């Protein structure tokens, strides 16, 4: 397998090889091309966890409005130390910089293998390759991490634990914002018995023709919430009101995206958000995401308390095991909300 990093380092590329030419960004939903300057909502996490009753209820209300109207937001004052965030980016760079023999141990692995290193999305099925290499690690409920570089495993453990705590509290706030008990989502999703957390590290090397290749095509994420952080380079765009919005996160913040399982669980009240990653010709971009979902065996369906036959809010999605949804996504093209669309009733 030739990863993008090797390709870029193997010679002086002036054009993108044809298998990386991707027009998918232009194919996806006509009219969604304007790149809008918008102010992205900010959630102050410290008010959610330590604020007084009034601050807490205000931030929960903001969280609800943000999930309903945007589906993405920045989280500040989240309690994960800046050093841990920085070390995670540095450690990720260190992993991709390892000699290939060390990474090959994780190459060509199947979806539920603990650690997978690869390129594109599904290099055996993708019509056009994406300009990204990845490392994916199942970090919870069973912790895994690559052996090298030295110290990376400890960094992953600390970072992912921090991200999990943030996600757990956000889910409690979201639960309340829906008029439910704080622990309703975690109970109904059986999160205590082993919430699933997947770490996805993306590396997008500099690309000689950033307009014709895609880092990641428009897609929505599986899971309830994705927490993202990145190095200093931007490239992430999200759809808001039919337009692409470029994301330039505040330093030391998490950028949070609601996933397909949030949309299923809330019976469409909070929708997952389509996003994509563009590439640049200047330098390597790295993003680190953690996808937070229920245990793999949990069947995710609209929460009974959010279904109301009398009020004409019948279940809008059929239930599916979290694990099966992941399989469905992996064996299809990454394409907008195509997997979720299959579950609509
Ligand atoms: O690179 C990014 O900022 C986004 C990555 C992403 O969407 C993903 O890993 O699912
Ligand atoms: Fe994503």
Q: Going by C-beta distance under 8 Å and a sequence separation of 6 or more, which residues neighbour residue 106?
A: 113, 115, 116, 117, 135, 146
- Most confident of the following: 126-140, 210-224, 254-268: 254-268
Question: Does the pLDDT of residue 23 top 80, yes or no?
Answer: no
Q: What is the pLDDT of residue 29?
A: 46
Please state the pTM of the whole predicted model. Answer: 0.95
Q: What is the pLDDT of residue 309?
A: 82
Tell me how far CA of residue 68 lies from CA of 9, 78, 81, 159, 174, in angstroms. 44, 22, 29, 28, 10
Q: State the distance from the centre of ligand 1 to the C-alpha of 120, rounded, in angstroms.
A: 12
DSSP structure class, residue 229: E
DSSP structure class, residue 176: H
pLDDT, one tens digit per residue, over 56-108 is: 999 999 999 999 999 999 999 999 999 999 999 999 999 999 998 899 999 98
> Given the CA of residue 285, which atom of ligand 1 is nearest to it?
1
> Given the CA of residue 230, which atom of ligand 1 is nearest to it?
3
Instruction: State the Cα–Cα distance between residues 44 and 77, nearest whole angstrom.
Output: 6
Tell me the sheet residues that pair with 136. 116, 200
Q: Are 189 and 319 in contact (CB under 8 A)?
A: no
Q: Are 46 and 77 in contact (CB under 8 A)?
A: yes
The mean pLDDT of the chain is 92
Q: Are 111 and 330 in contact (CB under 8 A)?
A: yes
- Using a 6 Å cutoff on CB, does residue 277 contact ligand 1? yes
Q: What is the ipTM of this complex?
A: 0.99
Question: Does the pLDDT of residue 18 top 80, yes or no?
Answer: yes
Question: Does the pLDDT of residue 35 top 70, yes or no?
Answer: no
Domains of the chain, each with CATH number or no CATH: 22-341 (2.60.120.330)
Element (H, E) at 188: helix 184-188
Q: State the distance from the centre of ligand 1 to the C-alpha of 118, rounded, in angstroms.
A: 15
DSSP structure class, residue 18: G
> Given the CA of residue 255, which atom of ligand 1 is nearest to it?
3
Q: For 128-156, what is the mean pLDDT? A: 96
């Amino acid at each position: 397998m030739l990863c993008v990093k090797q390709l870029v380092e193997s010679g002086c590329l002036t054009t993108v090889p044809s298998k990386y030419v991707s027009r998918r960004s232009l194919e996806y939903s006509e009219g969604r091309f304007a790149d809008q300057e918008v102010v992205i909502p900010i959630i102050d996490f410290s008010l959610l966890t330590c604020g007084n009753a009034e601050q807490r209820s205000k931030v929960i209300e903001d969280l609800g409005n943000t999930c309903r109207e945007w589906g993405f937001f920045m989280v500040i004052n989240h309690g994960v130390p800046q050093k841990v965030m920085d070390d995670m980016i540095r450690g990720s760079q260190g992993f991709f910089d390892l000699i290939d023999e060390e990474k090959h141990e994780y190459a060509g692995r199947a979806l539920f293998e603990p650690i997978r290193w690869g390129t594109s999305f599904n290099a055996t099925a993708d019509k056009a390759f994406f300009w990204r290499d990845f490392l994916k690690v199942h970090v919870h409920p069973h912790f895994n991490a690559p052996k090298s570089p030295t110290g990376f495993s400890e960094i992953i453990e600390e970072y992912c634990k921090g991200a999990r705590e943030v996600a757990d509290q956000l889910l409690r706030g979201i639960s309340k914002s829906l008029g439910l008990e704080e622990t309703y989502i975690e109970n109904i999703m059986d999160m205590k018995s082993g919430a699933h957390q997947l770490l996805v590290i993306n590396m997008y090397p500099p690309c000689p023709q950033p307009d014709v290749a895609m880092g990641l095509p428009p897609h929505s994420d599986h899971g309830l919430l994705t927490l993202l952080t990145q190095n200093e380079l931007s490239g992430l765009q999200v759809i808001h009101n039919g337009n692409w919005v470029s994301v330039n996160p505040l330093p030391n913040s998490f950028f949070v995206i609601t996933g397909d399982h949030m949309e299923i669980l809330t019976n469409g009240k909070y929708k997952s958000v389509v996003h994509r990653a563009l590439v640049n010709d200047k330098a390597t971009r790295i993003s680190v995401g953690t996808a937070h979902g229920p245990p793999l065996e949990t069947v995710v369906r609209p929460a009974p308390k959010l279904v109301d036959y009398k009020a004409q809010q019948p279940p809008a999605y059929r239930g599916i095991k979290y694990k099966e949804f992941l399989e469905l996504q992996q064996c299809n093209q990454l394409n907008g909300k195509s997997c979720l669309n299959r579950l609509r009733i």
